[in-house]
Structure formats: C-alpha cells, structure tokens
C-alpha cells in the first residue's frame, strides 16, 4: 500500500445530507516549536468505548459514576451530543479527523482514510504540528487497517502509541462459568488475581497514562494525551466486586423492550456479535428478532452498569493523579465516547443503528479558569471518589447545554480552546483538502456570558441538527447487517436529529461510487421527540399523507 507523504505544517462532504435538508526523550527534544510552552494549555482527551450517557451526571439514578460526575461538576456538559455513525472505527476516524463518514468513506473497518479517501489531518496531528508532544494510550483510533495498523503513526503521535499487553485476552476463554471451566462469554466478571498477567487492559492504560503525566510534568513542551478505555465494550470483563453495586433485584428492563410494530426491517440490527458469545449461544435465541429471556436481559444490564462503574474508578485514578501533579490548573479535559449502546430498547442490543440510544454520547469539557475556578495551592478538584461509598454526597451538576451538537465538533473546539487557529470549514467536496473541519466550533458555549442579556448569542435551537448514518447490506436483517463490508453495502440510512424529531430515510447506495440514490427510497422513519421520546412509534408512513414536518417538505 502506498502511503501519502507526511503532511506539511498547518497551512461532509454534504452529498447525502444536503439532499435530505438542503522515543520519549527524543520526542521531547524534537517537537515543533509552533507554540509558546509558557502559556499553552495541555489537553487530556478521554475516549470511552460504547458508553451511552448512563451516568449520574446525565440523570441516571442507578449508575454509580462519582468520578465522572465530579468531572462534570467542573465542566460544561452537553446533554444532546451525537456520533456520526454508531460503530467504532467509522466514528473514531470521523471525530478524530473532523470529517463525516461520507468524507472519510469509512463505513466499516477495512480501509485507511489517507489512502482510501484523502490525506486528512487529525486532532493529535494538528496539535503535534503546533508544538505539542502527542501521546496515545489504549484504544484511541480503532486498531487494524482503519488506522494503518499503527494508530496513524507517525502522523498523529510523537512516539509509538501504547497498548495494554492484556488486550489480547479480551475475547479469549478467561471467563469462569458455573461449570468451573473457562469460556468466552458475554458476561465475564472476574477475580483480577486469576486472569492472565493479574490485571486488566483499562488498569494498565491508567497506569501508563499516569506515568506519562509524571514525565510531562517536567517538560517544557505542552502535551496532548489521549486515553482510550475499553469498558463498557463487550465482553463485560470487569472486577467481579462491581456486581455488588447492582443487585439483580434492582435492575429493571428497558422501558420499551419489544421490537416496535412500525420499525422497518432494514432499521433493525440483529446484534450478531452478542450472539457469538458462549453464554448467549447456550440460550438458543432465534435470529434475528428472538427475544432474550427477562432474567438474562437483567444480567446484561447489570454487567453493563458494573462495567461503567469500573471504568469510572479508572477515570478517577487518572484525574486524581492529574491533580496530585498540579496539572489540573493548565490542562483542558475532554471526555466522550465513540457512540452509545442499546440495552434492550426496541428489542435491540449493542450499537449498529440510528436511534438516539446508540448515537447519543456523553460529552464534556473542563477548561481551567473557565468552567471552574483555578484550584488553590492545596486544593484538589478531582480527589478520587469511591463508588462503593454509598453515602457520598451528590455532585453539583455543573453547567449543562441542551443544544444538539455532534462529535465532529471535537476538532475545532479543542483547537480553539487551546488557543490554536481553528481549522477552516471544509469546501464541498473536500477530499483534496488536508486541514479543514465539518463540525461547529463549540467554544461559544464556554463564553459563560449572561444568556438572558443576549438570547440570540447561541442561535435558535430549532435550527440545530445532528446528522448520523448507518449502512445495511439488505432490506431485512441478516448475518452481516450490523457490520457490512463496504462492497456489501446496498442501503444507507441517513438520519437527522432536531430538537423536535428524528427523521431517517433508507436509500439505495452504490459502494463502488460512494453514492446514495435519494430517488431509491427503501424505508423511512419519523419520530417526534415530545410525544415519543423513546422513538417507538414510527409515523413516517403517516407523514407521506401530509404530516411531514414543514422543514422536511420539498
């Protein structure tokens, strides 16, 4: 494979959607000198795998997430942030380049955008070119072909990214079953002392991230540290003590566990990766719609929540270390996820859809001196919070923004917050442009001005739109519906989410030309948020007889 040369110093595509709506020391010595190190803010970017906003700071009264809640209390939190495609590699490449999937042309796991689409700059690359030491720990880019088997090195990182040595055990037989044997299960609470190497990937990532922070403490260069956590991605392999936080008798089912009557078959994802796990195979569930037993549904939800609390402790240890190293006063912290995860809603599990439950993600920014006062000499903003301390006080919720935003906004927002020049908006098309952005700069939300004095400062919320999309190989669910390879994509579901509704149209798609045919409509979905917040009542067919929202009419 011929790679493009490293890009020079810093100098959506709207095809579908416009038709819908209009070495370490060496690295320290050799970084570029584009930024003044004396006043530059560091960046800590925390990316979580498959985390929906099931967190205390998002109003979940069951989930114990005190450390993330504490971060939220000092941050600006976006209540309605959406990913552009609900699957790992496409979403990560999208928000790390600031381009939508129709621009990166990555809808699966099987291509590298620099060769397949365009030599697009990434967030860490931009910071690297502006004098930052850029470091990657854990799952930041999706590993494999989609990041050139190198996490986009050397373009994005000052030295080779770190991956935990125990990642290789995630999908192996390390889950002890009731028969006493080891299995490759979906539900996998473990005794950490008994697993290979006596540790888990996210623990290792936290330890490495803290080690890097300690080194950077004495560096004259600003740093950009991205830390990617695996949990709550399946398998739910986490320290078994976290199950105690979630007794099964306290676990409820999803509020809408049935497949909706009006759901087009093309919109349904058959959660094949879950079916491949040994404990799920033993249930002999029919494909594609066969429901999981109520008892096992509760166990899945229990393990997801337990995995979230385990993740929370790792975030807590990382942020506490940042505090201890006196870096909290000059480090911006961004926290997000690549996409959500269905926990039985609409009779679905996992991601692979356009529903809110799979596209909505947590997103928050801590900016020293802006979202919270600078910590005093002996003050700690992020002391570790024990999720097992059930008497701990509730956190101040911080400042919440209800406007709809998108993950493609991460690039311009981080650049702006750090004082770098915000990349320009992308032209259409932009395959030839190395540095541009397709997302909004969210900095305006951090100005903290009196909105009552200037009600137009943030614009009209009814004009805000979040775009998502998802590919399918066929009109009905089949074995590769969740993760079709590019060559097998026959249909693309383009979805827009506004403050009032979610509207999705499934249209013919030519994978050889990367073209959607909006004259070839296979199915549609329309859900009104106020009357149908769970998106269970599809009124698309009704809308074809005069009920289409005004903004969607031709």
Give the active site residues.
Answer: 88, 142
Q: How many CB atoms lie within 10 A of CB 378?
A: 5
* Integer Cα distance of 352 and 153 in angstroms: 28
**Token pair recorded at residue 383:** 């002391």
How many Å is the maximal CA-CA distance in the chain?
67
Q: Residues in the chain, how many?
A: 554
**Phi first, then psi: what are they for 342, rounded to 5°?**
-80, 135
Q: Which residue has the tokens 């910071």?
A: 127
* Integer Cα distance of 501 and 530 in angstroms: 8
Containing 6, the helix (H) or strand (E) segment is none
Q: Which residue has the tokens 């311009």?
A: 412
C-alpha separations of 395 from 55, 68, 73, 328 in Å: 12, 10, 6, 18
Based on its alpha-carbon atoms, the radius of gyration of the chain, rounded to whole angstroms, reads 23
Q: How many CB atoms lie within 10 A of CB 525?
A: 25
Q: Which residue has the tokens 């079709």?
A: 484
* Integer Cα distance of 423 and 125 in angstroms: 13
**Phi first, then psi: what are they for 214, rounded to 5°?**
-60, -40
* Integer Cα distance of 476 and 156 in angstroms: 40
Q: Kind of pairing, strands 515-528 and 501-510?
A: antiparallel
Q: Give the list of residues 6+ apart from residue 117 with CB closer than 8 angstroms, or none.
A: 103, 104, 105, 106, 111, 431
* Integer Cα distance of 496 and 270 in angstroms: 23
Q: Are 355 and 345 in contact (CB under 8 A)?
A: yes
CA neighbor of 524 nearest in space, from 378, 386, 354: 354
The DSSP 8-state label assigned to residue 403 in this structure reads: E
* Integer Cα distance of 491 and 508 in angstroms: 5
Label residue 422 exposed, middle or buried (CB < 10 Å: 0-12, 13-18, 19+).
Answer: middle
Q: Give the list of residues 6+ apart from residue 349 with CB closer than 8 angstroms, or none.
A: 271, 274, 292, 300, 342, 343
CA 256 to centroid of chain Cα atoms: 24
Label residue 70 exposed, middle or buried (CB < 10 Å: 0-12, 13-18, 19+).
Answer: buried
Q: Which residue has the tokens 């890009």?
A: 7
H helix runs in 397-453, sequence order: 410-417
Residue 363 sits at the vertex; the CA angle it makes with 394 and 425, to the nearest 5 degrees, is 155
């Amino acid at each position: 494979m011929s790679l493009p040369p490293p890009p020079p110093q810093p100098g959506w595509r709207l095809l579908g959607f416009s038709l819908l709506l209009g070495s370490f020391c060496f690295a320290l010595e050799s970084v570029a000198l584009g930024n003044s190190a004396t006043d530059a803010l560091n960046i800590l970017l925390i990316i979580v795998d498959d985390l929906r906003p099931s967190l205390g700071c998002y109003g979940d009264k069951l989930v114990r997430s005190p450390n993330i809640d504490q971060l939220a209390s000092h941050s600006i939190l976006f209540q309605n942030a959406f990913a552009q495609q609900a699957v790992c590699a496409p979403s990560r490449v999208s928000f790390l380049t600031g381009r939508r999937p129709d621009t990166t042309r990555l809808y699966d796991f099987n291509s590298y955008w620099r060769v397949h689409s365009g030599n697009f700059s990434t967030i860490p690359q931009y910071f690297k070119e502006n004098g930052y030491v850029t470091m990657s720990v854990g799952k930041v880019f999706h590993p494999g072909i989609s990041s050139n088997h190198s996490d986009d090195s050397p373009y994005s990182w000052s030295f080779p990214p770190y991956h935990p040595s125990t990642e290789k055990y995630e999908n192996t037989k390390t889950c002890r079953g009731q028969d006493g044997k080891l299995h490759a299960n979906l539900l996998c609470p473990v005794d950490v002392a008994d697993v290979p190497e006596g540790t888990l990937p996210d623990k290792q990532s936290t330890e490495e991230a803290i080690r890097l922070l300690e080194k950077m403490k004495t560096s004259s260069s600003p740093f950009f540290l991205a830390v990617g956590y695996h949990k709550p991605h399946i398998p739910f392999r986490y320290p078994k003590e976290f199950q105690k936080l979630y007794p099964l008798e306290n676990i409820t089912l999803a509020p809408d566990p049935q497949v909706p009557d009006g759901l087009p078959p093309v919109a349904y994802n058959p959660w094949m990766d879950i079916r491949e796990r040994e404990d799920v195979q033993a249930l002999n569930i029919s494909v594609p719609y066969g429901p999981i037993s109520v008892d096992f549904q509760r166990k899945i939800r229990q393990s997801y929540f337990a995995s979230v609390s385990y993740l929370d402790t790792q975030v807590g240890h990382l942020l506490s270390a940042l505090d201890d190293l006196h870096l909290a006063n000059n480090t911006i912290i961004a926290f997000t996820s690549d996409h959500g995860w269905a926990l039985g809603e609409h009779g679905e599990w996992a991601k692979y859809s356009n529903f809110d439950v799979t596209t909505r993600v947590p997103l928050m920014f801590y900016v020293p001196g802006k979202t919270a006062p600078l910590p005093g000499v002996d003050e700690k903003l992020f002391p570790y919070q024990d999720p097992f301390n059930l008497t701990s006080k509730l956190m101040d919720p911080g400042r919440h923004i209800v406007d709809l935003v998108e993950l493609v906004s991460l690039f311009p927002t981080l650049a702006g917050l750090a004082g770098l020049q915000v990349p320009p908006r992308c032209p259409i098309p932009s395959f030839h442009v190395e540095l541009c952005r397709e997302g909004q700069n969210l900095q305006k939300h951090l100005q903290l001005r009196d909105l009552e004095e200037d009600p137009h400062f943030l614009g009209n919320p009814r004009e805000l739109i979040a775009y998502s999309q998802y590919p399918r190989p066929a009109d009905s669910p089949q074995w590769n519906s969740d993760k079709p390879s590019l060559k097998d994509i026959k249909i693309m579901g383009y979805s827009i989410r506004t403050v009032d509704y979610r509207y999705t149209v499934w249209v013919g798609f030519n994978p050889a030309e990367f073209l959607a045919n909006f004259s070839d409509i296979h199915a549609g979905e329309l859900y009104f948020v106020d009357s149908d917040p769970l998106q269970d009542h599809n009124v698309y067919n009704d809308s074809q007889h005069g009920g289409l929202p005004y903004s969607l009419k031709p």
